Structure 1
Amino acid sequence: MAKGTKSTWSLRRKLILAAIAVVVVLGLALGLGLGLTIGRNGGSDNGNDNGNAPTPTGSPLPSPTGKLPWTPRVNDTWQIILQNNIELSDDATSVTPNVSVFDVDMFDTPKETIDTLHRLGKRVLCYWSGGSYEPGRPDSDQFQKDDMGKELDGWPGEKWLKLSSDGVRTIMKSRVELSAQKGCDAVDVDNVDGYQNDNGINLTEQDSIDFLSYLSNLTVPLNMSLGLKNAGDIIPSVLPIVHFSVNEQCVAEGECQTFHAFIDAGKPVFHIEYPDNAGSKLKEDIVQNFCGDTGDASGSGGFSTVLKKMDLDGWVEYCDQSVETTALNSTDQGS
């Protein structure tokens, strides 16, 4: 009896172990299959026109289609105009300059202009300030005084904002939605670097990191990519959730190497410098100072550099010393 019981248990144990082995093998096979499927859906074939551009990891939410929004590429050519609107008729057949990307003011630029740029094969970054109150914007009366800090140096009436405020974030959510309604491909959100300034409301790096994460949750589901404006200190923390950099004066500040992290990640740096005497063709040595990859410009290799006047009108000079002027709906269109 004892021998028969032991033999029966041995058989049962073998059957149990065999069943467990089958379950483990099936589980591994299923897991591998799922992993391969996820890899295909989340790889470089993301529905962009970027070829094999790396997929930005860490975006908190996907778009409704499950694909990433259009993202710009390293070395994309561009023009930025924040003063007045581009003069562009609905039936225009071209726009000057003939670049890939235009960065324009979201509030001031009509949807019809963005539609025309799209018809001409251009992509549009829409600029607005996420970290400051600007008097005169259509939604300026919605901001609360308790959410405002000190004025931005050199910009009378413009004040730093408390980025963690529910009220501020509600307003910014509306701005994201308006950007989508106008057809913007991406948003260029300014003044997220209040922590670097005398802001009067104790802004920290973490405030900016959390704010950009909040914006990413809004922009990606609406099929818009998100840029980081300046704010070099937080690049390591936000690089996975932003798609490009818009940098001002890294050559003048000697900090281009900091922003080269974007290039290393396969993401572009749209780079602006403001040379003295901008507005007329610059001397070759001045251009090379801003466009080389040595000296103060060390680390700027691969940047999409434009030389502009501080008021960001239609005048632009590129690193090949070509000068272009975009026609604006204003008598003041630069030299």
Structure 2
Amino acid sequence: MKHAAPKFMHIGKALRAAAIAMVCGFGICGGYSGSASATAKFNVGDRWDWQLKGPADLDRDVEMLTLNPRLVTADQLQGLHAQGVDTVCHVNAGTIAETNPGFFDLPPAVIGSPHKTRSNERYLDIRRLQMVVPVITQQIVACKNQGFTAIEPDGFDAYAKDSGFPLTAADTVRYATTLAHVAHGLGLGIAQKNVPELTEALMPHFDFAITESCFETSTCEQIAAYPKANKPAFNAEYTDADIDFAKACAEGARLNINMIRKDRPVTAPVIFCQAEF
């Protein structure tokens, strides 16, 4: 489903202040700067891999590795950092599962329809910032404490799904930007995950982009705004999609988007544009 790129008003000081207050509510606001992570050093052209379902294989010649936090230990993250690898923590942001911290702290009114392909997850009413953001912050704090250098908040596309709530693109921008302030307040980098149609509004607040199937869906040009602004963009095409991956690699090279190919469950096997592992 494609959406026209909407225009949004600048996210102002009040929203930033609200994000700081939420972080302070967890007793961790002392180091808040409002700027990007001091530890993550993402660069345009970095190689990456993405693993969400185990067992994980951490032996990768990459500069960035995005992981389900359940697949890795703090010691393993330390080892990756010693090798110069930035580590990105996958976080449920537009949805929540019972296994996520804070699920049972949420009132039923902000928990919506089940996700179409992940029935253990339910959509969140992201308009209710004061209720939802503190709960998602618990996941972000857990990522930081485990040793990740950045987060990948998934589910920003809930406004285009059957979430059970009348969510809009403007709601998504407001919510996503709030999470960006929270992540930066914790010294973490943060990715824009998908929603290429919102890149113009989100990019000033995010450090890099992670997308799925931009070649298949003809949305790579929108995400290319990141490398044009000297921020990296990473994309995964799926092995079950009927595409010419060599052409996807050529498109990635032209736009400075790092392309990989993964299976739909996002397990360890990966096809890079030059080699397969």
- TM-score tier, shorter chain, comes to 0.7 to 0.9
Letter in structure 1 aligned against 2:95: S
Query: In the aligned structure 2, how far is the partner of 1:267 from the partner of 1:68?
Result: 12
Q: Which residue of 1 aligns with 2:4?
A: none
Tell me if structure 2 keeps the 8 A contact 1:257–1:300.
Answer: no
1:132 correspondence with 2:90: no
The alignment's C-alpha RMSD in Å is 2.6
Q: Deviations over 1:154-198 (max 9, x none)?
A: 222322111132222111121121121112111000001111122
Out of 256, 271, 274, which is 1:302 matched to? 256
Matched ranges for 1:189-204 at <5 A? 189-204=153-168
Letter in structure 2 aligned against 1:119: A
Query: In the aligned structure 2, how far is the partner of 1:255 from the partner of 1:301?
Result: 11
Tell me if structure 2 keeps the 8 A contact 1:260–1:300.
Answer: no
1:65 Cα offset (Å) = 8.1
Higher deviation after alignment, 118-127 or 142-151: 142-151
Q: Which residue of 1 aligns with 2:204?
A: 240
Q: Which residue of 2 aligns with 1:73?
A: 43
Matched ranges for 1:24-35 at <5 A? none
Letter in structure 2 aligned against 1:246: I
Letter in structure 1 aligned against 2:260: V
User: Considering only CA atoms, is the larger Rg found in Structure 1 or Structure 2?
Assistant: 1
Out of 256, 259, 266, which is 2:230 matched to? 266
How has the CA–CA distance of structure 1 residues 109 and 184 changed in structure 2, closer, same or farther, with 3 Å as cutoff? Answer: same
Query: In the aligned structure 1, how far is the partner of 2:148 from the partner of 2:161?
Result: 29
In structure 2, list runs of 5 or more residues that go unmatched. Answer: 1-11, 21-28
1:82 correspondence with 2:52: yes
Higher deviation after alignment, 186-195 or 108-117: 108-117
Tell me if structure 2 keeps the 8 A contact 1:193–1:231.
Answer: yes
- Secondary structure in 2 matching 1:80: strand
Identical columns (%): 19
Q: Deviations over 1:189-218 (max 9, x none)?
A: 000111112222011111111112211221
Tell me if structure 1 keeps the 8 A contact 2:239–2:261.
Answer: yes
Q: Which residue of 2 aligns with 1:323?
A: 276
Q: TM-score, normalised by structure 2?
A: 0.81
- Secondary structure in 1 matching 2:260: strand
Letter in structure 2 aligned against 1:64: G
Letter in structure 2 aligned against 1:323: E
Letter in structure 2 aligned against 1:254: S
1:64 correspondence with 2:31: yes
Q: Deviations over 1:129-158 (max 9, x none)?
A: 101022433543333321122222222232
Tell me if structure 1 keeps the 8 A contact 2:101–2:139.
Answer: no
Query: In the aligned structure 2, how far is the partner of 1:104 from the partner of 1:63?
Result: 28
Matched length: 249
Q: Deviations over 1:39-60 (max 9, x none)?
A: xxxxxxxxxxxxxxxxxxx995
Q: Deviations over 1:213-237 (max 9, x none)?
A: 2112211122111111001122111
1:187 correspondence with 2:129: no
Letter in structure 2 aligned against 1:315: P
Letter in structure 1 aligned against 2:160: Q
Query: In the aligned structure 2, how far is the partner of 1:86 from the partner of 1:255?
Result: 29
- Secondary structure in 2 matching 1:253: coil
In structure 1, list runs of 5 or more residues that go unmatched. Answer: 1-57, 88-94, 279-284, 325-335
1:64 Cα offset (Å) = 3.2
Q: TM-score, normalised by structure 1?
A: 0.68
Matched ranges for 1:104-115 at <5 A? 104-115=67-78
- Secondary structure in 2 matching 1:251: coil
Query: In the aligned structure 2, how far is the partner of 1:260 from the partner of 1:229?
Result: 14
Tell me if structure 2 keeps the 8 A contact 1:86–1:113.
Answer: no
Matched ranges for 1:110-259 at <5 A? 110-165=73-128, 166-259=130-223
